Structure 1
Amino acid sequence: MNVAIYCGSSFGNNKIYEESTKILAQKLAQKNFNIVYGGSLQGLMGVISNESLKHNNTVTGVITHDLVSKEIENKSITNIHKVHTMNQRKEKMAEFADAFIAIPGGYGTLEEIFDVIASAQLGYHKKPCAFLNINGYYTHLIEFLRNSVKEGFINKLYVDMLIVSDDIDEIIERISNYNAPKDKWEK
């Protein structure tokens, strides 16, 4: 199984983010879940890739030529795919992945995970989408999504389909046993 990891190119302000990312890499390697990620050596992206490699896991990166020119490419990973645009990067990562996990990050992380969540809602794929809620990082976001259900903008089914936990083992277990809901327009 290939798991796309969406995460920050920064470390965040608390060591728990880096520590939990290392544990995630270790546990995914133990389950033979390969990593697909954005190809960078910066921040948590570098942590997930380098820690995965330490545990003999396969790491596939997808990075834009522009970011390569900024010298942030992790040249140590197993496979690297270079593309022209961020949209191509997202498409390639989604193509390679069998599941998606967002760990703490900024706008890019949120944009990437919401892109695959929206695609799942529409039935373009049946792959699990998860949030590793390290240090409560995604708690307010999940509350926002539940409020969107309450206000009638998201069907509860598509918030319930999300795997949200601060427990890495639970996330891995739920990804392994995931059953996708019907798509939004399916009758």
Structure 2
Amino acid sequence: MKSICVFCGSSFGARALYTDAARATGRVIAEAGLTVVYGGASVGLMGVVADAALSAGGTVIGVLPKVLEEKELAHKGLTELHIVDSMHERKALMADLSDGFAALPGGAGTMEEIFEIWTWGQLGLHRKPCGFVNIDGFYDGLIGFLDHQTREGFMKPVMRDMVKVAPTPEDLIAQFNRYEPPATPKWIGKDET
């Protein structure tokens, strides 16, 4: 593994512990000798992750759509900043540049990004790990719902097990290093859910 994409909020959230966790995530990734790939903005937890990785001597690659660059959200101090035409291009390039995907607390955009990359993995479009850094139980309700979907037959356990959950970025990276993707993508068998 050479790089981890971090999906997270463009705001700071209601509690300082989210900022602390974003700072720790950027630092831990950099100290592990990995590159941070993220959405390229200077605001919210996104900017905190980037600044922390840079401060720890790490490499940070941002990918930002033109529409957000025009709103002056681009982080000007990154190792690399790719400006793309659309949100779709942003996600595709971030996926290409990354060997794993971690979601910190965030809103709808964070959810959309991590769920899309997880879905791509289920379909066999990549074999990379993804997961949630579950800061102070932020994702407990979501994890419970994913387990509910599995119990109710809308997701096979092997697909549910693809997404990892850890309380710290160190723990998530350790899980990523041990990750084994499913032997068979979702739509290979006749009765796949």
TM-score, normalisation: structure 2: 0.95
Question: Secondary structure in 1 aligned to 2:5?
Answer: strand
Greater mean alpha carbon deviation, residues 20-29 or residues 89-98:
20-29
Question: Secondary structure in 2 aligned to 1:32?
Answer: coil
Residue correspondence of structure 1 range 1-187 to structure 2 within 5 A: 1-181=2-182, 182-187=184-189
Question: Secondary structure in 2 aligned to 1:152?
Answer: coil
CA distance in 1, matches of 2:44, 2:169: 20
CA distance in 2, matches of 1:21, 1:167: 10
Greater mean alpha carbon deviation, residues 164-173 or residues 123-132:
164-173
**Counterpart residue identity of residue 82, structure 1:** I
Superposition deviation, residue 150 in structure 1: 1.3
CA distance in 2, matches of 1:38, 1:6: 7
Question: Secondary structure in 2 aligned to 1:66?
Answer: helix
Partner deviation per Cα, 1:92-146 (whole Å, 9 max, x = no partner) = 1001000000000001000000000000001100000010001111110011111
**Counterpart residue identity of residue 12, structure 2:** F
Gaps spanning 5+ residues in structure 1: where? none
Question: Secondary structure in 1 aligned to 2:64?
Answer: strand
Question: Secondary structure in 2 aligned to 1:3?
Answer: strand
Question: Secondary structure in 2 aligned to 1:35?
Answer: strand
**Counterpart residue identity of residue 50, structure 1:** D
CA RMSD, Structure 1 to Structure 2 (Å)? 0.9
Gaps spanning 5+ residues in structure 2: where? none
CA distance in 2, matches of 1:135, 1:8: 16
CA distance in 2, matches of 1:140, 1:63: 30
CA distance in 1, matches of 2:31, 2:40: 22
CA distance in 2, matches of 1:173, 1:96: 20
**Counterpart residue identity of residue 187, structure 2:** W
Superposition deviation, residue 167 in structure 1: 2.6
Greater mean alpha carbon deviation, residues 170-179 or residues 31-40:
170-179
Question: Secondary structure in 2 aligned to 1:46?
Answer: helix
CA distance in 2, matches of 1:142, 1:20: 19
TM-score, normalisation: structure 1: 0.98
Question: Secondary structure in 1 aligned to 2:142?
Answer: helix
Count, aligned residues:
187
